[in-house]
DNA sequence: ACAGGGGCAAGTTGG
DNA sequence: TTGCCCCTGT
């Protein structure tokens, strides 16, 4: 991973010695716009910072400046980010300016700051201060219970779907009463709205919130208790927000409430963002928030950072030309002071995704031989299913790689199990944790037993653990189960007792041992069990710095990320989304095919807005590269196990021809070259009306008309070879159907044998082809 | 109570 | 293709 240039340390040592200097050291090396953004501390400020323009540096310097000039105490600054990673990066970099800096108490994610505020005033929103924060997994299990209780068919109305809807509502700042029937009515034939009420009621019973509630309940707290809000108005003198383009409506409301302590022209709020890098619309982010900042805060100053310190002129030109195809943007143009244009961007079309993986692998090795570290190279894909082929190829090559964004540490089963034990010790009312571990490891307590426990809990209106305690005193359960439960309850009492004096990391080790969890892993012969044991050790190690169990659980529910700064030299494979904010010398952008990127689904669901978000994703991808960007498209790709062909992405056509070099490896197989040029720009008035109207398809048609017979005979061999792994697939085509083939053009199906079709093509004559190579005509 | 097989769907991700 | 969920058989 490439570290940004280190910030200059203040030469004068402690802050006091720097007071009253005219130009503090930390301002040196900033360009005029950056300096302006740092020094404009009073009033609302919008910093539009393009990719690679030193956004983080401006934010951190600004905070350092405020502290240095003693404009505010640390506790009077509120700095919010979206990710823990961004927050810790900011803390680290401020520390470089201010050696005796002890950490800003109010610097963190929206969610962690909200949680902190909520714990201080929990009783005002019907919670107890030690409330649990549920993650997505808990949330879904809770919803499943509600669906079951309401006799809603979970197949027809999946819990996950409701969770997504719920998330969307909460992102928009809607409490149960605010959800319009037109939104909620759809789910489970009109029961959606009521489910939201029931869900919230369950959360209160569990003394829990989900992530969305951290913000929503905070907003409710402020609205219903003006004196509490006023307290924070007095408290925060300066507010800063990073990645403002990613904010959703709830976050927006939260911010406005906090920022409006003073009349708008005096609110010291600084938001930093880039509308061109807004790629989380599907998650509820509203680009509109950044677009209307000047209206929200009349008199706001706007500073654009357009000087890019990262990429070559060719890369910037490509990115700028591409993003200019978007209509919804504030409009910035990146430029650089570097005179050299650098390498041109390369675009390569290959036969299929396997060849793409092969080519990328070869090129990486080539650069590696030329002395480039693997750490400086990355492959960015649109969707994670594209990673597998790359990984397989790299394993074959023995090429060291690392995948970013796989299942995260805390999402692993064994970690979640261990956490469930700890949660139950800390909060005996945590029924979700109880359900998770009651029979893990296996104790012979099955559905029947759990059902009895749940019934008792509901009737007596107590937690599952209390219900268990009660049932060990009665004859309701079979003796075997009763004994087991008695033992379990005793264990939990014991652990809770020990939790008072024992360090959390010791407690977790003892729990895992005494519960039989370690024995279970030891007995497990599968390849994974060793890794699970190591993960649990890692968990215990990460707990060493925590003195109380409560403190650790708070941390884990909000952070739950393992920052694994792996030291070894490896190529990074990750999605475009997770690459935002990073940079690499060499970037490979694979899978630039219509349907894959831009994603068909995105366009179908969100039309032009969807397409524009995809384009911003392309922009993010290109601007990750410092020296070299290599784009590729495969003519054929296996999607969900079926081979499908596709045209190169329309985004390829939107790159400036003079900054791009085209290498067409696909041509040997009858592919077509890169059309390029202004003539093949796609029709902006109607960009997603039909896939077949895109320039790629137009070119393909023109090409197949010129080419007639298609490629050399090797294709046939290739096709036959492929039919092996497709054998037995039943055909989706019928005799007489009209189809379109990438190389042979239009034709009619003459016969069908499994997945092989005999087609009479208009231009190419009779051919046998696999159905996966044709499209319905 | 629990293991194994069949059916079905499949996106990007943060807290 | 894989992975998850449900159902069935022991």
DSSP annotation string for A709-735: S-S-THHHHHHHHHHHHHTTPPPS--T
Burial of A526 (0-12, 13-18, 19+ CB in 10 A): exposed
Average pLDDT, chain A: 82
Amino acid whose CA is nearest the C1' of B11: A383
Encode A714-736: b = buried (16+ Cβ within 10 Å), e = exposed: ebeeebeebbeebeebeeebeee
User: Prior bond to A480 cis, omega within 30?
Assistant: no
Tell me how crowded residue A190 is: count the other CB atoms within 10 A of its CB.
11
Distance from residue A636's CA to nucleotide B10's C1', rounded to whole Å = 18
> In this structure, what token pair is assigned to residue A314?
């060719």
Nearest to A446 by CA among A480, A403, A396: A480
Tens digits of residue pLDDT in A692-730: 333 433 433 333 333 222 222 222 222 222 222 222 333
**Shortest CA to C1' contact from A599: nucleotide:** B11
Q: Poorest-confidence range of A159-173, A178-192, A457-471, A509-523?
A: A178-192
Question: Which nucleotide minimizes the distance between its C1' and the CA of A640?
Answer: C1
pLDDT of residue A595: 94
How far, in Å, is the CA of A631 from the C1' of nucleotide B5?
Answer: 43
What digits encode the pLDDT tens for the residues A239-270? Answer: 999 999 999 999 999 999 999 766 666 789 99
Distance A397 CA to B12 C1' (A): 28
Residue whose CA lies closest to nucleotide C6 C1':
A155
A576 closest-nt by C1' vs CA: B12
Alpha carbon of residue A275 to chain centroid: 17
Give the distance, in angstroms, between residue A640 CA and nucleotide B9 C1': 10
The nt closest to A144 (CA vs C1′) is C5
* Gap from A405 CA to B11 C1', Å: 14
Residue A169 CA and nucleotide B11 C1' are separated, in Å, by: 20
Report residue A670's pLDDT band, with 50, 70 and 90 as the boundaries: very low
Nearest protein residue to nucleotide B8 (CA to C1' distance) is A155
- Please state, in angstroms and rounded to a whole number, the distance separating the CA atoms of residues A10 and A18: 8
SS3 assignment, position A647:
coil
Q: How far apart are the first and last CA of chain A?
A: 46
pLDDT on residue A673:
39
pLDDT range class, residue A78, cuts 50, 70, 90: very high
Can you say how many angstroms the Cα of residue A328 is from the centroid of all Cα atoms in its chain?
Answer: 23
Please list, in sequence order, all residues whose beta carbon lies within 8 angstroms of the beta carbon of residue A539, skipping any fewer than 6 positions away: A415, A418, A508
Please check the confidence at residue A373 and state whether its pLDDT lies above 60.
Answer: yes
Catalytic residue set of A: 55-56, 242-243, 277, 624
Can you tell me whether residue A536 is helix, strand or coil? helix
Q: Determine whether A78 is exposed, middle or buried from the number of CB atoms within 10 Å of its CB (0-12, 13-18, 19+).
A: buried
Q: Where are the alpha helices (DSSP H) in A44-191?
A: 55-68, 84-97, 110-120, 136-149, 159-171, 181-184
Through-space separation of residue A537 CA and nucleotide C6 C1' in angstroms: 34
Burial label, A369 (beta-carbon count in 10 A; 0-12, 13-18, 19+): exposed
Return the closest nucleotide (C1') to the Cα of A407.
B13
| A463 CA from C8 C1′ (Å) | 33
pLDDT of residue A491: 95
More confident residue, A408 or A175: A175
Closest nt to A728 (CA→C1')?
A: C1
Closest protein CA to C1' of nucleotide C5, residue: A155
Q: Model confidence at A157, in pLDDT bands (50, 70, 90)?
A: confident
Query: What is the rounded average pLDDT of the residues A581-600?
Result: 95
Distance of C1' in B2 from CA in A446, Å: 9
Q: How far is the CA of A771 from the C1' of B4 (A)?
A: 34
Q: List the A446 CA – B5 C1' distance (angstroms).
A: 21
- Point out the nucleotide closest to A725 (alpha carbon to C1′): C1
pLDDT tens digit sequence for A623-659: 999 999 999 999 999 998 889 999 999 999 999 999 9
Distance, CA of A448 to C1' of B2, in Å? 13
Buried b (16+ CB within 10 A) or exposed e, A41-56: bebbbbbbbbbbbbbb
Dist CA A752 CA A770 (whole Å): 10
Q: What would the DSSP string read from start to end of A398-450?
A: T--EEESSSS-GGGSHHHHHHHHHHHHHH-TT-HHHHHHHTTSS--S--HHHH
Report the protein residue whose CA lies nearest the C1' of nucleotide B9.
A640
Give the nucleotide with minimal C1' distance to the Cα of A638: C1
Nucleotides of C under 7 A from a protein CB: 1-2, 5-6
Residue corresponding to tokens 């370690």: A518
Q: Containing H/E element for A644? A: strand A642-645
What pLDDT does residue A534 have? 85
pLDDT-derived band of residue A411, with 50, 70 and 90 as boundaries?
Answer: confident
Which nucleotide across the nucleic acid strands is nearest to A726, CA versus C1'? C1
Name the pLDDT band for A762 (thresholds 50, 70, 90). low
What percent of chain A lies above the pLDDT cut of 70?
82
Q: Mean of the pLDDT values across residues A351-359?
A: 94
Range of weakest confidence among A5-14, A56-65, A142-151, A351-360: A5-14
Q: Which two tokens stand for residue A177?
A: 């009463």
Let me know how long chain A is. 777
Phi, psi angles (nearest 5°) of residue A437: -110, 0
Protein residues contacting strand C, judged by Cβ under 7 Å: A 154-155, 638, 640-641, 725
Q: Which nucleotide is nearest to A158 (CA to C1')?
A: C5
pLDDT at position A122 over 90 = yes
Question: Do residues A315 and A623 make contact, with C-beta atoms less than 8 angstroms apart?
Answer: yes
| For residue A460, pLDDT beyond 80 | yes
The percent of residues in chain A predicted with pLDDT above 90, rounded, is 49
Q: Which two tokens stand for residue A129?
A: 């201060």
Which pTM does this prediction carry?
A: 0.79
CB atoms within 10 A of CB A136: 14
Q: Is the preceding omega at residue A307 within 30 degrees of 0, hence cis?
A: no
Phi, psi torsion values for A184, nearest 5 degrees: -85, -20
Residues paired with A54 in a beta bridge: none
The span from the CA of A355 to the CA of A665, in Å, is: 9
DSSP lists the bridge partners of residue A239 as A78, A269
Which of A73-82, A121-130, A762-771 shows the lowest per-residue confidence on average (mean pLDDT)? A762-771
Q: Are A133 and A208 in contact (CB under 8 A)?
A: yes
> Which residues neighbour strand B (beta carbon < 7 Å)?
A 82-85, 109, 111-112, 135-136, 167, 171, 211-212, 248, 282-284, 382-385, 405, 408, 439, 442-449, 558, 561, 574-575, 577-578, 599, 601-602, 605, 640-641
Count of CA atoms in the C-beta half-sphere (13 A) of A33: 16
Which positions of chain B lie under 7 Å from any protein Cβ? 1-3, 9-15
| A390: Cα within 13 Å, side-chain hemisphere | 26
Q: Look at residues A249, A305, A295, A297 and name the one whose alpha carbon lies nearest to residue A273.
A: A305
The Cα A153–Cα A164 span in angstroms is: 17
Please list the residues that pair with A572 across neighbouring strands: A378, A402
Instruction: Return the percent helix, strand and coil in chain A, to nearest 5.
Output: 50, 15, 35
In Å, what is the separation between the CA of A243 and the C1' of B14? 13
Contact A616, A276 (CB under 8 A): yes
User: In the structure, how far is the CA atom of residue A73 from the C1' atom of nucleotide B12, in angstroms?
Assistant: 40
| Tokens 């959800």 -> residue | A179
């Amino acid at each position: 991973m490439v570290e940004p240039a280190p910030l200059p340390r203040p030469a004068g040592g402690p802050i006091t010695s720097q007071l009253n200097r005219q130009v503090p050291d930390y301002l040196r090396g900033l360009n005029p716009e950056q300096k302006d953004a740092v020094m404009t501390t009073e009033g609302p400020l919008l910093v539009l910072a393009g990719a690679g323009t030193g956004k983080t540096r401006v934010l951190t310097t600004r905070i350092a400046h405020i502290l240095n000039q003693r404009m505010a105490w640390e506790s009077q600054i509120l700095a919010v980010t979206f990710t823990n990673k961004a927050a810790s990066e900011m803390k680290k970099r401020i520390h470089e300016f201010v050696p005796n800096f002890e950490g800003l108490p109010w610097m963190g994610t929206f969610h962690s700051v909200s949680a902190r505020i909520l714990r201080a005033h929990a009783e005002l929103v019907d919670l107890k201060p030690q409330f649990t924060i549920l993650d997505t997994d808990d949330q879904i299990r809770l919803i499943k219970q509600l669906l079951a209780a309401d006799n809603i068919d979970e197949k027809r109305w999946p819990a996950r779907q409701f969770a997504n809807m719920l998330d969307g509502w909460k992102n928009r700042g809607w409490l149960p009463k605010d959800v319009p029937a037109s939104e909620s009515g759809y789910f489970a034939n009109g029961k959606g709205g009521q489910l939201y009420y029931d869900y919230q009621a369950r959360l209160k019973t569990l003394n829990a919130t989900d992530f969305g509630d951290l913000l929503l309940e905070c907003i409710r707290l402020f609205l219903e208790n003006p004196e509490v809000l006023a307290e924070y108005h007095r408290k925060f003198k300066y507010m800063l927000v990073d990645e403002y383009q990613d904010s959703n409506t709830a976050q927006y409301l939260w911010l406005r409430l906090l920022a409006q302590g003073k009349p708008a022209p005096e609110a010291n709020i600084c938001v930093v963002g880039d509308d061109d890098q807004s790629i989380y619309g599907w998650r509820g982010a509203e680009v509109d928030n950044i677009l209307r900042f000047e209206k929200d805060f009349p008199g706001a100053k706007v500073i654009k950072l357009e000087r890019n310190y990262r990429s070559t002129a060719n890369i910037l030109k490509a990115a700028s030309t591409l993003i200019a195809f978007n209509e919804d943007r504030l409009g910035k143009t990146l430029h650089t002071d570097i005179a050299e244009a650098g390498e041109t961007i390369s675009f390569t079309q290959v036969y299929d995704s396997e060849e793409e993986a092969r080519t990328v692998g070869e090129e990486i090795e080539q650069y590696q031989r030329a002395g480039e570290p693997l750490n400086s190279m990355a492959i960015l894909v649109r969707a994670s299913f594209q990673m597998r082929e790359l990984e397989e190829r790299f394993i074959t090559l023995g090429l060291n790689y690392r995948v970013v964004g796989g299942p995260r540490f805390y999402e692993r089963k064994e970690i979640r199990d261990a956490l469930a034990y700890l949660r139950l010790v800390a909060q005996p009312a945590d029924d979700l944790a109880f359900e998770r571990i009651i029979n893990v490891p296996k104790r012979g307590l099955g559905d029947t037993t759990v059902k009895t426990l749940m019934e008792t809990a509901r009737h007596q209106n107590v937690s599952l653990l209390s219900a268990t305690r009660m049932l060990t005193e009665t004859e309701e359960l079979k003796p075997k189960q009763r004994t087991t439960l008695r033992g379990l309850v005793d264990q939990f009492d014991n652990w809770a007792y020990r939790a008072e004096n024992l360090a959390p990391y010791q407690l977790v080790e003892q729990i895992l041992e005494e519960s039989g969890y370690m024995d279970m892993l030891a007995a497990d012969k599968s390849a994974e069990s060793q890794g699970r044991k190591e993960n649990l050790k890692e968990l215990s190690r990460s707990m060493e710095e925590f003195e109380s169990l409560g403190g650790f659980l708070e941390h884990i529910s909000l952070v739950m990320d393992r920052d694994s700064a792996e030291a070894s030299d490896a190529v990074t494979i990750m999605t475009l989304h997770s690459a935002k904010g990073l940079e690499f010398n060499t970037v490979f952008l694979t899978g630039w095919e219509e349907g894959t990127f831009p994603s068909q689904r995105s366009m179908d669901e969100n039309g032009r807005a969807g397409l524009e978000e995809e384009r911003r994703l392309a922009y993010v991808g290109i601007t990750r590269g410092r020296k070299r960007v290599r784009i590729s498209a495969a003519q054929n790709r296996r999607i969900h196990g079926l081979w499908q062909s596709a045209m190169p992405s329309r985004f390829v056509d939107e790159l400036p021809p003079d900054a791009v070099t085209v290498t067409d490896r696909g041509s040997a197989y009858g592919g077509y070259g890169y059309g390029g040029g202004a003539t093949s720009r796609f029709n902006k008035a109607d960009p997603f009306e039909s896939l077949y109207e895109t320039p790629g398809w137009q070119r393909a048609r023109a090409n197949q008309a010129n080419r007639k017979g298609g490629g050399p005979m090797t294709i046939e061999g290739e096709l036959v070879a492929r039919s092996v792994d497709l054998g037995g697939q039943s055909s989706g085509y019928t005799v007489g159907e009209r189809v379109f083939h990438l190389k042979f053009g239009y034709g009619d199906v003459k016969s069908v044998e499994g997945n092989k079709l005999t087609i009479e093509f208009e231009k190419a004559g009779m051919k046998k082809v696999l159905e996966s190579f044709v499209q319905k005509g």
